Structure 1
C-alpha cells in the first residue's frame, strides 16, 4: 500500500504512521489535555461506554474505518450440521462479503474503527477474525457494537475496544458497506488518518489536522507529570517505577529525532 501523507493546519505534510511513534508513550489524558490547550474542547472524546475489553490495554494507531448497517434480509434455515458450521460462508456466498475483505489494505499501525450503524445483538468481531487484523500489523480494533468470544479475546490479549459483549454471529444481522469513510462512534467523528488512542481511561480521537502539534504538547504534559509524581514518590518513600522514569521517555524521543 502506498504511504499517504496528510497536511496539518500549518500546511506541513507528514506521514501519520511515522507520527504515531510520537504518541506511543503518551497517556490518553495527556492527549486530552493537549487538545483542550489548543481549543479542541471535547472534540474526539469517545463515550465512556465504549471501553477496552480487558484492563491494562494501551495502543495508538492510525484510523482505518469500517462502516456497517443492520442487515435487511434474514438468514434462512440451514439444513445440515455442515451448513450450520459454515454459516458465515453460506451467508457470504449468497449476499456477498461487502466491505469485510479489507485486511489486505491494512498497514502496520492501523486501528480498525468500526461503526455498526445501530445493529444490535451481533458479535461482528470475535476471537478469530480479530486476529486477522493483528496478522496484518493492526494494533487494535474499536467498535460501537459488540465483541463475542470475550473470554478468548481476553486470554489472547487481543486489543479489542467495544460497547458490550455479544453472543450471536453475522448472518442475517449486519452487513459491511464501505471502508475508509468518516464514521461516528461514541459521539466522536473518526476519519481515515486520524490518530486514535486507547488506555484504561478510555478512547480519544485526534483529528489529523492537529495531530502533530497535539503530540508535541502532550509529550511535555507527560514529562511534567512524571517529574512531579517522581518527587511524590521520593517524599513517600516509594520505589520508582516506569511511570515516573522521565529520563527513559526523553531518550525515546531523542531516538525518534536522531
Structure 2
C-alpha cells in the first residue's frame, strides 16, 4: 500500500526504474529525506562491469549449517552431494523459483555463513530461466568465470570455492532480510549498476523514480552541453528525448 492506501504492483513500478542510474535514485531518496536508507554496503558488488538491473525483491534467509557433511564413499556420491544432502536434511529453499516472476531480483542473506558458494554457474541459470533479472547475496558466488561469461546479473560479497552441503541452510523464503546495512522486504525495488546497489521501499518507489528521472534528465542536458563544447558527438547517455518518450509511453 502507498500513503493513499492504494495497492501497489511492484512489477509495474519496476518499469519506472529501468532507464535510471543508482546515483539518480540515491539523489531522489536524499531529496525525500531518506538519507542513507537503502544504500547497500560497497562490499556487495556486481561481479562484472556493465551490469544493470532493477526489480522487485524475492528474498531468502539462510543460516550456517550445524550438521557436518559425512564422508562420501563413491565418485557418484561426490557428484551427487547436493541431492544426498538435501534428501537427508531437507531444503526449505526448494520453492524459491516458484516465487520468481519475470523481472524479479533474488536477494539472499547468508546469515554470516563462512565461505560457501551458495550460488554457482548452474543454479543461477535456473533463476534466470524463471525470470530473475538480478541475483544479490551478502555471501559468496562460485564458478565466477562461467557466471561472468554467461553475463548472469550476479552481485555478491565474495568469490568462493566450496559447496552447500554441511555449510549453509535456507530457513525462510520471502521474508524481510538485511544485506549490507539495508533492509530488503519482498516487493521492495532493488537496483544495481557499476556504482553499487540500492533498495527502494515499495511505498515510495514510484515517487522516487519520477524524481530520479528529473535528476537524470538534468544531468543529461548538462553533459550534452559539455559534449557540444568539446566537439563530441552525442550518444545515448545524453539522449533526453528518449527518456522523455519512455516515461510518456509508460504513463499513457
Same fold (TM over 0.5): yes
Q: State the TM-score, normalizing by the size of structure 1.
A: 0.96
Moved more, 144-153 or 245-254: 245-254
Checking the alignment, whether the CA contact within 8 Å between 1:8 and 1:212 is kept in structure 2 is no
Work out the CA distance in 1 between the residues paired with 2:39 and 2:13: 20
Residue segments in structure 1 that go unaligned for 5+ positions in a row: 1-6
Give the aligned length.
Answer: 252
Q: Does 1:154 align with 2:148?
A: yes
What is the RMSD computed on CA atoms of the aligned residues? 0.8
Residue segments in structure 2 that go unaligned for 5+ positions in a row: none
How does 1:175-186 map onto structure 2 within 5 Å?
175-186=169-180
Shift of 1:14: 2.2
How does 1:119-158 map onto structure 2 within 5 Å?
119-158=113-152
Q: Does 1:89 align with 2:83?
A: yes
Match of 1:58 among 52, 63, 79: 52
Q: 1:101 to 1:13 in 2, by over 3 A?
A: closer
Moved more, 100-109 or 70-79: 100-109
Checking the alignment, whether the CA contact within 8 Å between 1:60 and 1:195 is kept in structure 2 is yes
Match of 1:228 among 200, 222, 234: 222
Work out the CA distance in 2 between the residues paired with 1:13 and 1:228: 37
Shift of 1:255: 1.3
Work out the CA distance in 1 between the residues paired with 2:225 and 2:4: 37
* Runs of 4+ in structure 1 over 4 Å off: none
Shift of 1:102: 1.4
Aligned twin of 2:61: 67
Residues 120-162 of structure 1, C-alpha deviations (whole Å, 9 max, x = no match): 1100000000011110111010000000000000000000000
Aligned twin of 2:101: 107
